[in-house]
Amino acid sequence: MKRILSVLAFIYVHFLFISGCRNGNSQQPEKTSRDTAITIKNAFSGLFFDSLRMENYLKQRAVPDTAKQLFRNFYIQRNFQYAWFDSSGLAEQAQNFWSLQSNYIDYSGDSAIYNVYLNRWMDSISSNGVNSLPDSTRLGVEWGLTFQFFRYANRAYSGRRSLSATDLEWFIPRKKANLLSMLDTLVKEKGKEISRYEPVNQQYQLLRNQLKRYYDIERDSAWNPIQITQKKIKIGDSGLIINKIRRRLLLTGDLYYSDTITLFDDTLLLAVKRFQSRYGLAADGILGASTLRELNKPINDRIRQILVNMERMRWVPEQPRGDYILVNIPEFKAHVYEAGKKIFDMEVVVGTTSNNTVIFTGNLKYVVFSPYWNIPPGILKNEVLPAIRRNPSYLERNDMEWYNGGIRQRPGEKNPLGLVKFLFPNNYNIYLHDTPSKTLFKQTKRAFSHGCIRISEPVRLAEWLLRADSIWTTERIFSAMHSGKEKYVTLKQSVPVFIGYFTAWVDADGRLNFRDDIYGHDKKMIKKMFD
């Protein structure tokens, strides 16, 4: 029997190396020096294995060199001491990690890291104890847990490698995690405060909490479509349909208590407005086609929407510190942060569905007052040149001129960049700018531009960016904007700009927000993640 278990353990460890290391980091880890200060006398477990046994095994396996070196480094720095077992059996850190990754699989639905063989051995240890395992099997579980941690951390911290960020038109660099340092800390601290080893982006944690609530709704509550016979339902209306609306808003958290009133009263009015606000709709309290569509969206669709955005949250850095600007395309808003805290936000206009605003990050370096507009080649070819052919006076009428083989528009009221623009040099020719078309900011859906981002409060942003320079008073900013002469101002310190795409998030008031997938990026991710 022991021989059979040993053979099974050999097959199992082979499987772990093949299936668990394919997605290792492509960058070769540096070799780690052996810590000879760790001996049997001072080791926490007193359990060691032969390094030659590990090396001979690795030589026989078709495992990427990066995964081999990461694994090797972990045990070299431990002087080949067991990490997951001690003299009493399965160590505390092993049990804590196992609970952590099992919980991750449960709430994320991400079964790709589930390892049936390791689960069987862990179940066996739980039922029969460690002493029921031959030494070779115990070593297999030891090595298996190490690779399972690397798989979990790679997945949970950096996201699914099968989802190519560039294929999904996401050009913000993915964050990188030091897996070796993370595992070393977990083992040394015995996995205490295990939540530290979950993805650390704050929004991720907030979305995860909301996800649990939506799983509960899916499991415990009916979520049937609400059918109405009239075009709109508003305050003062009555009927049995009002009860269905109340029950739905109670589930979504917008109605705070349940009752059986069939009248559309003030309490329901406030609940409808709260719901509309969370979904980016006009908060008029009238239940029309748009509000009804959002109320009726299947609960599983909402769960998937949350999961897609949690996946995106794994890609982004931890909560940035210092000053930065975050533009969320589906929200049509820019958020300005100072010393890591949001100080104001503003409405923005983003690119149309045929001229998407690109998802990327850059550093804002220049404020340009009274800017020229150098007309992009596409607009020049498709719009301006045909207009010139139709009307030879088109250039003069629109304050345009030929310049360096192209056409530019002079500074002034007609200029589509408005009176100021904010540059963060990039390969996509995207920047923030003022606009003469102020009325568009009153729309709830604001995808109207050719790709650049129009902002509703350019003066306020200029004041904030130049606040450290005493010569740039509000009066001087206003004067420069209306001078008619282009002026570049270089910031003393550049400000990071993140242009993101999040259709689900939790706001500062703890409210879960949803927005339309205006560019179809969610749809692409859902197909890759769930189909």
Q: E strand or H helix at 514, and its extent? A: strand 512-514
Q: In sequence order, what are the beta bridge partners of 350?
A: 447
- Residues 184, 260 within the same domain: no
* Joined tokens for residue 453: 């981002």
CA proximity to 169, closest of 524, 446, 497, 528: 524
As a residue count, the chain comes to 531
In a domain, 214, yes or no: no
- Residues 263, 344 within the same domain: no
* Joined tokens for residue 124: 């066996």
Q: In sequence order, what are the beta bridge partners of 366?
A: 423, 490
Residue 290: φ, ψ to 5°? -65, -45
Q: How far apart are alpha carbons 65 and 523 in whole angstroms?
A: 35
In a domain, 302, yes or no: no
CA distances from 119 to 2, 21, 115, 122, 145 (A): 20, 17, 6, 5, 10
Domain boundary among 297, 330, 347: 297
- Residues 471, 524 within the same domain: yes
Arithmetic mean of pLDDT, 7-17: 40
Say what angle helices 135-158 and 116-128 make with each other, to 10 degrees. 130
Q: pTM for the full model? A: 0.87
Show Cβ contacts of residue 202 under 8 Å, excluding neighbours closer than 6 positions: 319
The pLDDT value recorded for residue 8 is 39
Arithmetic mean of pLDDT, 502-524: 97
Confidence of residue 15 (pLDDT cuts 50, 70, 90): very low
Indicate which residue of 21, 335, 452, 482 is catalytic: 452
- Residues 180, 291 within the same domain: no
- Residues 470, 339 within the same domain: yes
What is the DSSP-derived secondary structure letter of residue 299? H
Q: Sign of torsion, CA 216 218 219 225?
A: positive
The CATH number of the domain holding residue 275 is 1.10.101.10
The pLDDT value recorded for residue 38 is 54
Please state whether 239 falls in left (phi above 0), alpha (psi between -120 and 50) or beta: left
- Residues 464, 336 within the same domain: yes
CA proximity to 77, closest of 86, 89, 69: 69
Active site (annotated) includes residue 452: yes
CA proximity to 443, closest of 341, 342, 348: 348
The pLDDT value recorded for residue 32 is 58
In a domain, 208, yes or no: no
Q: How far apart are alpha carbons 258 and 246 in whole angstroms?
A: 7
Please state whether 104 falls in left (phi above 0), alpha (psi between -120 and 50) or beta: alpha
Confidence of residue 350 (pLDDT cuts 50, 70, 90): very high
Residue 255: φ, ψ to 5°? -105, 130
Mean of per-residue pLDDT scores for the chain: 89
- Residues 472, 373 within the same domain: yes
Cβ 354 vs Cβ 378: under 8 Å: no
Residue 343: φ, ψ to 5°? -110, -25
- Residues 253, 331 within the same domain: no
Lowest mean pLDDT among 26-35, 327-336, 484-493: 26-35
Specify the number of domains making up the chain.
Answer: 3
Q: How many CB atoms lie within 10 A of CB 275?
A: 23
In a domain, 187, yes or no: yes
487 CB-side CA count, 13 A = 15
Please write the tens of the pLDDT for every residue from 239-271. 999 999 999 999 999 999 988 899 999 999 999
Return the higher-pLDDT residue of 144 and 490: 490
Three-state DSSP at 437 gives coil
The CATH number of the domain holding residue 401 is 2.40.440.10
Per cent of the chain over pLDDT 90 is 70
**Domain hosting residue 273, numbered range:** 224-297
Return the higher-pLDDT residue of 434 and 230: 434
Confidence of residue 531 (pLDDT cuts 50, 70, 90): confident
Lowest mean pLDDT among 18-27, 64-73, 335-344: 18-27
- Residues 249, 340 within the same domain: no
In a domain, 207, yes or no: no
In a domain, 129, yes or no: yes
Please determine, for residue 31, whether its predicted confidence score (pLDDT) is greater than 70.
Answer: no
- Residues 475, 332 within the same domain: yes
Q: In sequence order, what are the beta bridge partners of 374?
A: 408
CA proximity to 246, closest of 257, 235, 237: 257
Please write the tens of the pLDDT for every residue from 162-191. 777 777 889 988 888 889 999 999 999 988
Please determine, for residue 35, whether its predicted confidence score (pLDDT) is greater than 60.
Answer: no
β-strand pairing of 341-351 with 453-455: antiparallel
Lowest mean pLDDT among 96-100, 266-270, 300-304, 374-378: 374-378
Show Cβ contacts of residue 331 under 8 Å, excluding neighbours closer than 6 positions: 280, 502, 513, 515
Please determine, for residue 14, whether its predicted confidence score (pLDDT) is greater than 60.
Answer: no
Please determine, for residue 109, whether its predicted confidence score (pLDDT) is greater than 90.
Answer: no
The pLDDT value recorded for residue 44 is 52
In a domain, 313, yes or no: no
Arithmetic mean of pLDDT, 273-283: 98
Active site (annotated) includes residue 433: yes
**Winning range, highest mean pLDDT, from 18-32, 42-56, 58-72, 494-508:** 494-508
State the amino acid at position 274 in one-letter form: R
Q: How far apart are alpha carbons 139 and 132 in whole angstroms?
A: 13
Please determine, for residue 296, whether its predicted confidence score (pLDDT) is greater than 70.
Answer: yes
Arithmetic mean of pLDDT, 430-448: 97
The pLDDT value recorded for residue 159 is 83
Please write the tens of the pLDDT for every residue from 195-206. 777 776 889 999
Q: In sequence order, what are the beta bridge partners of 360?
A: 499
Three-state DSSP at 447 gives strand
Burial bucket for residue 416 (CB in 10 Å: 0-12, 13-18, 19+): middle
Lowest mean pLDDT among 33-42, 373-382, 422-431, 497-506: 33-42
* Joined tokens for residue 139: 């070593």
* Joined tokens for residue 233: 């339902």
Q: What b/e sequence results for 305-342 when a residue is b if at least 16 CB atoms lie within 10 Å of its CB, and e otherwise?
A: bbbbbbbbbbbbeeeeeebbbbbbbbbbbbbbbeeeee
- Residues 234, 191 within the same domain: no
Residue 102: φ, ψ to 5°? -65, -40
Q: What angle do CA 68, 171, 349 make, to 5 degrees?
A: 155
- Residues 391, 422 within the same domain: yes
Three-state DSSP at 154 gives helix
The pLDDT value recorded for residue 77 is 93
* Joined tokens for residue 19: 């299936």
The pLDDT value recorded for residue 254 is 98
- Kindly write down the DSSP assignment for every residue of 116-150, as one continuous string: HHHHHHHHHHHHH-GGGS-HHHHHHHHHHHHHHHH
In a domain, 70, yes or no: yes
Please determine, for residue 17, whether its predicted confidence score (pLDDT) is greater than 90.
Answer: no
The pLDDT value recorded for residue 30 is 59
CA proximity to 294, closest of 310, 308, 277, 307: 277
Arithmetic mean of pLDDT, 275-303: 97
Indicate which residue of 14, 433, 450, 482 is catalytic: 433
Q: What b/e sequence results for 109-137 when a residue is b if at least 16 CB atoms lie within 10 Å of its CB, and e otherwise?
A: ebeebebebbeebbebbeeeeeeebbebb
Three-state DSSP at 467 gives coil
- Kindly write down the DSSP assignment for every residue of 44-87, as one continuous string: SS--B--HHHHHHHHHHS---HHHHHHHHHHHHTTTTB-SSEET
The pLDDT value recorded for residue 33 is 53
